Structure 1
Amino acid sequence: MKNLGNMLKQAQQMQQRMQEMQARLETLEVEGQSGAGMVKVTLSGKGDLRRVAIDPSLMSADEREVLEDLLVAAHADAKQKVEAAMAEEMQKATAGLSLPSLPGGLKLPF
């Protein structure tokens, strides 16, 4: 019975930490860039696109394909940074909690 009480307490702590993590991710902004900074994309911590900045030299018809490629690359860079930030926040949220393990070493999120 004591073990069940501990599990419930840990579940409550985990829920609170997850809510705090979600709030931090809402305010987080991550910038990705490509073309040596000629294209910059800013994403929220949840991956929503917030801003795009494009160097004026890329605003010609001749540079259209380059610009398209640089936008994709800048978004990929920002997305990777968001995923790293999310992983870091998740690690903070679960720090110190002894989560039950599943076969294969996977842990339950409560």
Structure 2
Amino acid sequence: MSDPAHRSDRFGERLRRPLWCYLWAAPNSLAGLLLAAIACGAGASVRHVDGTLEVADGRIMRWFARPQRAFPFCAITFGHVILGLDHALLARVRAHEQVHVRQYER
């Protein structure tokens, strides 16, 4: 949590996006939550950052990091859920992934 770019949302803080943005993206976010639950079961951790859930680390994420992996990405967005190989990487690609979150909201 020493990452200066890491801005954690606090419970009760005013939503950064209108509620309809969350509702519109909800079907995709649900798919992301299912994948996040699987990842968390394998040791991943979750952070709430900029109106999204960032899920990273764990055994499943290490499998994606292997050179012969079937999926050529280091982070992927499903609605308001972002899955990544590790939290340091997510801090570096956060702005790019937030573009995809806004695309889901539209």
Judging by fraction of residues, say which structure has more helix: 1
Specify the structure having the higher radius of gyration (Cα). 1
Q: TM-score, normalised by structure 1?
A: 0.28
Q: TM-score, normalised by structure 2?
A: 0.28
